[in-house]
Amino acid sequence: MKQPPHIAIAGATGAVGIEMLNCLAEQKVPYSQLTLLASARSAGKVVEFQGKELVVKELTADAFEGVDIALFSAGGSISLEFAPHAAAAGAIVIDNSSAFRMDPEVPLVVPEINPEAAKTTPKGIIANPNCTTIISLMALAPLHRAFGLKSIIASSYQAVSGSGAAGIVELDSQIQALANGGEIKKEVYPHQIASNVIPQVDVFLEGGYTKEEQKMLNESRKILGLPELNVTCTCVRVPVHRSHSVSISAQFEKPVTVEAAQAVYGEATPGVQLCDDPSTGLYPTPLDTSGKDDCLVGRMRMDQVLPNALALWVVGDQVKKGAALNAVQIAKLLLE
**In the chain, ranges of CATH 3.40.50.720 domains:** 6-128+323-335
Report the pLDDT value the prediction gives residue 2, as an integer from 0 to 100. Answer: 72
Q: Residue 47's pLDDT band (boundaries 50, 70, 90)?
A: very high
What are the two backbone dihedrals, phi and then psi, of residue 271, each rounded to the nearest 5 degrees?
A: 90, -10
Q: Is 318 annotated as ligand-binding?
A: yes
23 is a catalytic site residue: no
The catalytic residue among 6, 144, 235, 244 is 244
- 82 φψ region: left (φ > 0), alpha (ψ -120 to 50), beta (else): alpha
Helix axes 325-335, 15-26, angle to 10 degrees: 40
Q: Is 14 annotated as ligand-binding?
A: yes
Q: Is 161 annotated as ligand-binding?
A: yes
Strand 230-237 to 244-252 pairing: unpaired
Q: Is 41 annotated as ligand-binding?
A: yes
Report the pLDDT value the prediction gives residue 3, as an integer from 0 to 100. Answer: 82
Residue pair 242/161 in contact (Cβ under 8 Å)? The answer is: yes
* Residue among 316, 314, 300 nearest 252 (CA): 300
235 is a catalytic site residue: no
CA distance 307 to 30: 48
pLDDT digits (tens, 9 = 90+) for 265-299: 999 999 999 999 999 999 999 999 999 999 999 99
- Percent residues over pLDDT 90 in the chain: 98
- Percent residues over pLDDT 70 in the chain: 100
What residues pair up with 234 in beta bridges, in sequence order? 155
CA distance 116 to 126: 12
How confident is the prediction for the chain on average, in pLDDT? 97
Look up the CATH architecture of domain 133-318: 2-Layer Sandwich (3.30)
Q: Is 13 annotated as ligand-binding?
A: yes
Segment 146-171 mean pLDDT: 97
pLDDT digits (tens, 9 = 90+) for 78-113: 999 999 999 999 999 999 999 999 999 999 999 999
CATH topology for 6-128+323-335 is Rossmann fold (3.40.50)
Segment 223-233 mean pLDDT: 98
**In the chain, ranges of CATH 3.30.360.10 domains:** 133-318
The catalytic residue among 131, 233, 235, 275 is 131
